[in-house]
Amino acid sequence: MESKNESWGSRTGLILAMAGNAVGLGNFLRFPVQAVQNGGGAFIIPYLVCFVLMGIPLLFTEWSIGRFGGRTGNHSTPYILDSMGKSSLWKYIGVFGIFTNIAVVAYYTYIESWTFIYVIHTLIGTFTGMSKEEVSNFFMQYVQLDGADFGISYLPALVYLLVLGVNIYILSTGLGGIEKVAKVGMPLLILFGAVLAFKGWTMGDDYASDAFPSANAWEGINFLWTPQYSSLLDPKVWLAAAGQIFFTLSVGMGSIQCYASYIKKNEDIALNSLASGFTNEFVEIVLGSAIVIPIAAGFLGLDWVIANAGFGMAFQTMPYLFQQWGEVFGMIAGLCWFGLLFFAGITSSLAMGTPWMGFMQDEFGWGKVKGALSFGIIALIMGLPTILFYQYGYFDEYDYWAGTVSLVVFALLETILFVWVFGMNKAWEELNHGADIKIPLAYKWIMKYVTPLLLILVLSAALFTPEANDWSGALSGLVAGEGWDFDSGSLVSKVTQDDLKQLLLEDAQNEAFYLKKIFFSSMARIQLITLFLVIVGIVWYSGVKRKSRLHE
């Protein structure tokens, strides 16, 4: 940022910006799908427990780390973490806080561009009269290649550039611009969500048809909100719930620390972190659960939803369903849906630019415009392959390594730094400094022991996920000396690319396609590793410059 004295204009603006950072596409696209795929009500109890025992402590940790670093004049994770521990190693652990944001925004902006172009298509009536299959194919034709490897139409790339350019422009205006977007975008997001949620809650079985006679929106709602206590013993559901907490709160990325580094030294971070966290939970649980699943169940039936729940429903199914409400209200519903997705996306992607900009300002004196442009250029270099090679899994590799694994690793390491290296007593004092509320003492114990343990369990479970997520069967087999078969989604299988190699063996007719997937998977990883190492090099060089300034 251009001035180290830059700060948020108001507490409301700060909370809305923080909530906007957390409220993203995962609230409306990922949460409903995770809930359905993990048994509906079976998912809710583990999810809420993970929010209390992992989500809130991580919010406390990241807000505290950010404010502490800001007081020492640091506004990026490498030197925020460096200021809290004696070892220079923490400076390089902080690289995750820049790397993750750049890598995620590279493909996240592509999804943002989908929401933007769907707003346009909704307004001009593109989906009017289309069948469900035609709407689904419309999306696939937009994101897939048209024949040859570089046969993609120019439109997706141009829309991506436009949306990335909007992000760069807003970032170049500094915290003030981000705050203005949050103050407009968050209320509109909630308004649009409320309109759709109300419709989802009230449509009942009014739209049941001969093809889907049992369609009833309330079945979708009951499925999501009827607790199933058997899930408390299912490791697969706990792992999914813990993973959703990372996505929904944007913890483990580095953007919260950066935002918090610009707050005043006596700001109540305890109340602010809870306010932003519960705002996010309201949007996710109250609005996110009341739109996609109930509306789809109201038209197509719960059985169809359970069988077809996936990320693509938002783009491949919802535009068709909206049209069943009539041309006028269908357009309004589509505008609300894709409009709220766009605002959810851009308020999050803006947060991803601030760690890089804060770092370049602090260490090299770059202004807001130069910082925003450089961030945009790097994001473009990283992001274009996710468009050009989308069907070969480039996008998925970024999402897995940068948007999933990196979050958990960084969250675990920063938690260890805060409560064990910095010290729990100092950490507790920092968290409560200037607080208007009294945090229960139980959280002192939770932050020190329970949260790190949960993070270790999440990382270990992801690393060694057994075949078909059958933990009891895998443990029995291990005791019986039969070994441990890894699931294709386990971290071990991902590292060795066994998941792709298995698909190649099972579908030999498409050998050329899967060989390309393996190749581009490797290329994506090389690009991500290169980005990480480049940032490490820049951080090292900044350290050399700091030492030279001290000796001058």
Q: How many CB atoms lie within 10 A of CB 302?
A: 25
Q: How confident is the prediction along the chain (552 residues), in pLDDT tens digits per residue?
A: 444 457 776 777 788 888 888 888 888 988 988 888 888 888 888 999 999 999 999 999 999 999 999 998 999 999 999 999 888 899 999 999 999 999 999 999 999 999 999 999 999 999 999 999 999 988 888 876 443 344 446 788 899 999 999 999 999 999 888 999 999 999 999 999 999 999 999 999 999 988 899 999 999 999 988 877 777 777 778 878 888 888 888 899 999 999 999 988 888 999 989 988 998 899 998 898 899 999 999 999 999 999 988 888 999 999 999 999 999 999 999 999 999 999 999 999 999 999 999 999 999 999 999 999 999 999 999 999 998 898 898 999 999 999 889 999 999 999 999 999 999 999 999 999 998 888 999 999 999 999 999 999 888 888 888 888 788 888 888 888 888 888 888 889 889 998 888 888 888 788 889 999 999 999 999 999 999 999 999 999 999 999 888 776
Task: Provide the CATH number for the domain around residue 400.
Answer: 1.20.1740
With respect to residue 369, please indicate whether it lies within any of the assigned structural domains: yes
- Does 432 map to a domain? yes
Q: Is residue 529 part of a domain?
A: yes
Using DSSP's 3-state secondary structure scheme, residue 466 falls into strand
pTM assigned to the model = 0.91
Domain assignment present for residue 490? The answer is no
Task: State the residue range of the domain holding 425.
Answer: 20-463+497-551
- Number of domains into which the chain is organized: 1
Question: Residue 50: is it exposed, middle or buried by C-beta count within 10 angstroms (0-12/13-18/19+)?
Answer: buried
3-state secondary structure of 486: strand
H/E stretch holding 540 reads helix 511-551
**Whether the Cβ atoms of residue 20 and residue 347 lie closer than 8 Å to each other:** yes
Burial of 13 per CB tally in 10 Å (0-12, 13-18, 19+): middle
- 6 found inside a domain: no
Angle between helices 96-123 and 132-143 (to 10 degrees): 140
Q: What share of the chain is helix, strand, coil (3-state, %, to 5)?
A: 80, 0, 20
DSSP structure class, residue 226: S
Among residues 309, 308, 318, 301, the alpha carbon closest in space to that of 135 is found at 318
Q: Is residue 514 part of a domain?
A: yes
Report the candidate in 194, 239, 252, 507 with the shortest Cα–Cα distance to residue 402.
Answer: 252
Confirm whether 488 is domain-assigned: no
Crossing angle (nearest 10°) for helices 154-172 and 132-143: 70
DSSP 249-311: HTTTSSHHHHHHTTS-TT--HHHHHHHHHHHHHIIIIIIGGGTHHHHHHHHH-HHHHHHH-ST
Q: Is residue 479 in a domain?
A: no
- Cα distances (angstroms) measured from residue 304 to each of 31, 120, 189, 197: 18, 29, 28, 20
Give the DSSP letter of residue 507: -
